[in-house]
Amino acid sequence: MLTSVFTGCTTTKADSSNKKTVYRTLKEIKKSGKINIGVFSDKSPFGYVDKNGKYAGYDVYFANRIAKDLGVDANFVSVEAANRIEYLQTGKVDIILANFTVTKERAEEVDFALPYMNVALGVVSPSNKVIKKLDQIGAKDEVIVISGTTAETYLTKNYPKIKLQKYDAYAEAKTAFENKNGVAWANDNTEVIAFAKENKGYTVGISSLGDNDTIAPAVTKGNKTLLKWLNDETKALGKESFFHKNYEKTLVDTYGADYEEILVVEGGKVK
């Protein structure tokens, strides 16, 4: 099965707004012998299910190392962009490793550990009608986005007149774009670059939109013991160039060697 129900000891905490969140401390996770990690199951090359039915990708490679160093088994839980925060707050997962971009708004609801990747927004469109500037998008045109992503937030805030066609899952958005339901698809630049390289007839006309951001693991707000362990782990892994090895193992075929130093954040230190 690709998903599983969360079980085990939990700690319940109410924040300043009396909103209850559920999480397992580092000690509870170790005692259970299993860590529940939320990953994508349909977003290659970051998190996907391979032909053998096993989770693979950049985020999964990191997740497996986390479990190994904790001395527990990794239990992967398939998530969608829109439910990543909910899955943490309700205790369905201990960690989210699903291409999760750090934002101020999200940091109010979850705790982000040190980053392991750089990212910006990008826009891909058909090669016969490339969108190079957002003002090329007409009043009746629609741009495809995935609900709960930074692309949706950014366009809604900064370009409210652009009509958005929203989908919950990456696969749904991809299919809609291929079916020409929208004039363009806005998402993380890593994702649109990969899409254009894998699919003929598409061009990334905008490779960097808005501010450059980072991707990081997230834990439930207030889970200090797990957060500290993750930060220490990320720093330690940086000493062995783990994230560069991860890139070369899982991403180089998609992006090539030229993007490695641009995308990889080693040891939690953003250059």
Q: What is the pLDDT of residue 5?
A: 39
Average pLDDT score over residue span 175-184:
97
Give the pLDDT confidence of 189-216 residue by residue, as tens digits.
Answer: 888 988 998 899 999 999 889 888 999 9
Q: What is the mean pLDDT of the chain?
A: 92
**Which two three-digit tokens encode residue 205?**
């006309």
**Which two three-digit tokens encode residue 81?**
């962009």
Q: How far apart are CA 85 and CA 92, in angstroms?
A: 10
Q: What is the pLDDT of residue 158?
A: 96
Q: What is the pLDDT of residue 135?
A: 95
Output the pTM of the full model: 0.79
- Of the listed ranges 16-25, 47-56, 80-89, 113-122, the least confidently predicted one is 16-25
Dihedral of CA atoms 248, 249, 250, 256 in degrees, nearest 10, equals 30
Residue 16 has pLDDT above 80, yes or no: no
Sign of the alpha-carbon torsion through 153, 159, 165, 171: negative
Name the pLDDT band for 2 (thresholds 50, 70, 90): very low
Average pLDDT score over residue span 29-49:
96
Name the pLDDT band for 258 (thresholds 50, 70, 90): confident
| pLDDT-above-70 percentage for the chain | 93
- Each residue of 62-73: b (16+ CB within 10 Å) or e? bbebbbeebebe
Average pLDDT score over residue span 87-116:
97
Name the pLDDT band for 8 (thresholds 50, 70, 90): very low
Give the pLDDT confidence of 111-151 residue by residue, as tens digits.
Answer: 999 999 999 999 999 999 999 999 999 999 999 999 999 99
Q: How far apart are the first and last CA of the chain?
A: 39
Residue 19 has pLDDT above 80, yes or no: no
Residue 17 has pLDDT above 50, yes or no: no
User: What does the angle CA 219 – CA 224 – CA 230 come to, to the nearest 5 degrees?
Assistant: 60
Name the pLDDT band for 13 (thresholds 50, 70, 90): low
